[in-house]
Amino acid sequence: MTSSGLRCAFVVKEDAEMGTVSFRQLPLIAKVAVGIAFYNAWVSFEEFVIDRVGLWRYMPYYRVGEACVWDLAVALLVIVGLWRLSWQREERRV
């Protein structure tokens, strides 16, 4: 027994291997977190590159510091990409 009086219930096998988990098998909260991370990457790119370097001048319908068509397009791309990953068939590896 340990000092707290509880026993460890984990048994580790010597030849055990970890399997991979597909994106489809992840819980919804993990998928949402991945989507937020991708959209946050866009917002960071937008702030640190597009706004500061001045690339916004060459992007039609872009609004500096405001929500615009580009933000909506990226949000839709993230949602569609994650949706496709969630419903993609699992390929078996031999």
Per residue in 17-64, pLDDT tens? 888 888 999 999 999 999 999 999 999 999 999 999 999 999 999 999
Give exposure, 20-58, as e/b (b: 16+ Cβ within 10 Å).
Answer: eeeeeeeeeeebeebbeebbeebeeebeeebeeeeebee
Q: Is residue 92's pLDDT more than 60?
A: no
In a domain, 48, yes or no: yes
Q: How many domains does one find in the chain?
A: 1
* Average pLDDT of the residues in 74-94: 84
* Average pLDDT of the residues in 64-88: 93
Q: State the Cα angle at 34 between 38 and 10, rounded to 5°.
A: 150
In a domain, 35, yes or no: yes
Query: Would you say 61 and 69 are in contact if contact means Cβ atoms under 8 Å apart?
Result: yes
- What range does the domain containing 61 cover? 23-87
In a domain, 94, yes or no: no
Quote the pLDDT of residue 78.
97
Quote the pLDDT of residue 13.
75
In a domain, 9, yes or no: no
In a domain, 51, yes or no: yes
